[in-house]
Amino acid sequence: MAKKKKIVENPMENEAEALKQPITETLEKNYMPYAMSVIISRAIPEIDGFKPSHRKLLYTMYKMGLLNGQRTKSTNIVGQTMRLNPHGDASIYETMVRLTRGNESLLHPFIDSKGTFGKQYSRDMAYAASRYTEAKLDPICHELFDSIDKNPVDFIPNYDNTMEEPSLLPTTFPNILVSPNLGIAVGMACSICSFNLAEICDGTIALLKNPKVTVDRMLDIVKAPDFPGGANIIYDREQMRKIYETGLGSFKIRAKYEYNKKNNCIDVLEIPYTSSIESIMKKAKDMIKSGKLREVTSVRDAIDLNGFKLTFDLKKDSDPELVMQKLFSVTELENSFDCNFNILVEGTPMQLGIREILTEWIRFRIRCVTRELNFDLDKKLQKLELLQGLMKILVDIDEAIRIIRNTKLESDVVPNLAKAFDLTQNQAEYIADIKLRNINREYIINRGKEVEGLVAEIKDIKETLRDELKLKALIISSLQEIKKKYGKPRKTQLIEREEVKAPAKDIFFENYNCRLIMTKGGYFKKLSVQASRSADEQKLKEGDYVLYQEDTDNRGDVLFFTDKAQIYRAKVDDFELCKASSMGDYIPSKLGMDDDEHVVACKMIYDIIPNHHMVYIFENGKGVRINMSAYDSKSRRRKITGAYSTASPLAGAIYEGDKPVSIFIRSDADRGMLIKSSLIPDKSTRTAAGVQIMKLPKKGVKIDLVTDRIEDIGQDALKCKKLALPSTGSPLGQLTFNF
């Protein structure tokens, strides 16, 4: 008999088949299950206010007896949690850290911790390893596990079916809005800020009493978010109304500070929840180095046993209000919180406003209370059944004793009692197990009273289950008790937007006298008065020379004219002071000019003034005057294209103010002329080619120098003066020039 050949699968063929799979099928089978897993099982909190990782950790601690017991090592908690959470110990411990009192991430921490757990407001203050820290559940967790043994929520198998865990925790208050929650899923994210517990309880009670409560009324009760780190919210009611209605929006949080007059320093005591002390300090130090925060000598972390403190040491006579305005405008001492209230409701992600979230929580809580009452009802009905059976035999207890004594087999005791007194199996079992010592008058009287109490309790539970108002009354009573027991004053205070002073536009501006120098090679210097008066020689590249020089101050703008018919505009304050011995800033690189673009001329102005002109002289000997109003615009443009004609390369640009200026023009044919700018015609169009100013003798000759710095040229320039245009200029020959 021939042996069958063993068929060996070719992995390459399988891979090729997989590659033929349509993209839609790949998304459906591979991507969508992953996306839904991330949304439902990781990143988005459910109506109880917890993500699965939080819930698994807290329930593990509850089952370990840490709600009422002593603290245990964190590593023990992490190990036990792995029975429900199949992730690594590091991720479980990170989850635990955020829930602790020591980390200060929550208004109402769920874990009472001992040891170093880092701080929410610091990236660098690391938490200690789990073997060094201890923890137990905080007393507020009684409200998370209240009546959890009465079947208020569904229990589901853990990942390996060895035990069960709750699908939700039966929180007795809207924890979804009391604990902040951030998460990034696939295609969606959530960013839920925390609110004051007492205010949320009041808002929920108002909604329980009147389901049609308005958003305005809710804003009056739940004023605004409240953060564990305190600080101040810059309050805008309309902005907050949008967040309450849609669950989307943002608001600004500003640090709290005080000025310590004795030590001449500013102490920042509370910072925004979304800020870190390290980023604030880094930015402040950068500002000090760059000279934008000259009033501050140093910034230091002054955190101690009394809590958070960030100190800015001031120079003498510094204005603390001005310093804080600068810090608020640049650092994270003022920051925003972006709200995105995405939550899971029965497994479906929803973006809800405050009122809708509280409505969903009320529905959830009513279901929990209903299940608890049904659990109690079943237990009481079972107990009533047993006691009613007991009442039947108490009519003739002697007969019951006789039946038991005369029954030969133990297995027949229960059937004989049930038959003689018309009892159920459960009733007969209960009676058969009663101890002989309990058959006395006191026992009988007490059981009779218990029956009466059970009947009344059962009636009350049934009436409550039938009446939604009574169910809501139970929830209201519970919320009032929680508010009384755990409610705290607001930590985050509100500042009306009108009370916040907008920083001045020139808040970082410091005016002083300076000298501006521009070289032909494209280097620009801003020298202080002392540097400009020093005897140091200006450092220039070989062959380079000064094209423009002016004594001015730090208030104006500098216009840079390039050979690409473009004007770049920069503030004088944008340039750092330098020394005469330095090269300065290379303008094409600093201003991000185009490749092979070079500066031809520059001029400092305070503003664009009509009837002031720019005089352009081109290499072909033509020139034109353009009114400065041609460059005016509503927006302060940093770059103007098409600033002048491109018919010929630009040889030079001269600024003409209220009075005509003297301009010296030289050609590379060694001829020159000195003219008044008023001789050049004024044109209304920026790209006008102009008129001939200097007659060039032949092709290839061009204008190679244009300047209004006559003092640098020398007295011989006056010999080249011309009163009419165009002109061939004067031969320079033996004339002496300093330039």
Over its C-alpha atoms, the chain yields an Rg (Å, rounded) of: 42
DSSP string, 388-442: HHHHHHHTTHHHHHHHHHH-SSGGGHHHHHHHHHT--HHHHHHHHTS-GGG-SHH
* Residue with the two structure tokens 């403190």: 309
The sign one gets for the Cα dihedral 420, 424, 425, 430 is negative
Question: What contacts 678, CB < 8 A, 6 or more positions away?
Answer: 660
Cα dist from 704 to 332, 652, 708, whole Å: 53, 9, 14
Tokens of 654: 């001269």
Tokens of 101: 């009192």
φ, ψ of residue 339 to 5 degrees: the values are -90, 135
Burial class (CB in 10 A: 0-12, 13-18, 19+), 405: exposed
User: Could you list the active site residues?
Assistant: 132
Q: How far apart are CA 445 and CA 442, in angstroms?
A: 5
Task: Look at residues 664, 671, 655, 673 and name the one whose alpha carbon lies nearest to residue 710.
Answer: 664
Tokens of 332: 């994270």
Long-range contacts of 61-67 (CB under 8 A, 24+ apart): 61/111, 61/135, 61/136, 61/137, 62/137, 62/141, 62/144, 62/145, 62/148, 66/135, 66/136, 66/137, 67/136, 67/137, 67/141, 67/142, 67/145
Tokens of 187: 């295609």
Which helix (H) or strand (E) is 301 found in, with range?
A: strand 296-301
Is the CB of residue 335 less than 8 Å from the CB of residue 272? yes
Beta partners for 334? 254
DSSP string, 457-525: HHHHHHHHHH-HHHHHHHHHHHHHHHHHHH----SSEEEEGGGSPPPPTTTT----EEEEEEETTSEEE
Angle of helix 89-98 relative to helix 74-81, nearest 10 degrees, comes to 120
Q: How far apart are CA 709 and CA 705, in angstroms?
A: 11
Q: How far apart are CA 94 and CA 416, in angstroms?
A: 63
Tokens of 356: 């809708």
Is the CB of residue 204 less than 8 Å from the CB of residue 198? no
Is the CB of residue 251 less than 8 Å from the CB of residue 226? no
